[in-house]
């Protein structure tokens, strides 16, 4: 039986874990399936996921209505190969040996679904590129 390489793991971080990081995690899970381990968290998580984000993802067939924002922990960062921040700045702990990317994206907080759609589409584009790099299909 051939050795299967360990799955790469990705952590998406934003302040509230209610918008951008939830969309990115949902797209990565949806598009990569079990080829990548996916986490998301926020440095100051909101109580709920942004309803406009839930609606924008539902339009492309991804249901995150049951997701809840999670607090960022050092353990989540340590357990991840790639940490992608989205506007959390200095609050994200930095560990040696991890790969960090910062995706500059507008914050969908307080925006309607019309404003969320272009953010969603940009996140999907970036996630597809990330999958091609981390976990290309054999």
Catalytic annotation present for 88: yes
Q: Among 11, 14, 83, 116, which one carries the catalytic annotation? A: 14
Q: What kind and span of H or E run contains 5?
A: none
The answer for residues whose C-beta is within 8 angstroms of residue 34's C-beta and 6 or more apart is 7
Q: Which of 70, 74, 77 is nearest to 100 (CA)?
A: 77
**3-state secondary structure (DSSP) of residue 83:** strand
- The string of DSSP codes covering 85-100 is ESS-GGGS---TT-EE
- 69 vs 3: CA distance, rounded Å: 35
92 is catalytic: yes
Q: How far apart are CA 99 and CA 67, in angstroms?
A: 26
Identified catalytic residue from 92, 116, 127, 134: 92
| List 38, 88, 116, 134, catalytic entry | 88
Q: Which residues are catalytic?
A: 14, 88, 92
């Amino acid at each position: 039986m051939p050795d299967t390489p360990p799955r790469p793991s990705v952590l998406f971080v934003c302040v509230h874990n209610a918008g951008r990081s939830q969309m990115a995690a949902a797209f990565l899970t949806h598009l990569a399936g079990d080829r990548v381990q996916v986490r998301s968290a926020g440095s100051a998580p909101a109580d709920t996921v942004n309803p406009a984000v839930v609606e924008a993802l539902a339009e492309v067939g991804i249901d995150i209505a049951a997701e809840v924002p999670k607090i960022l922990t050092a353990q989540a960062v340590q357990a991840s190969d790639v940490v992608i921040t989205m506007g959390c700045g200095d609050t994200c702990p930095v560990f040696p040996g991890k790969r960090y990317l910062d995706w500059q994206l507008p914050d969908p907080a307080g925006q309607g679904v019309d404003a969320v759609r272009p953010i969603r589409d940009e996140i999907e584009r970036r996630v597809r590129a990330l999958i091609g790099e981390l976990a290309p299909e054999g």
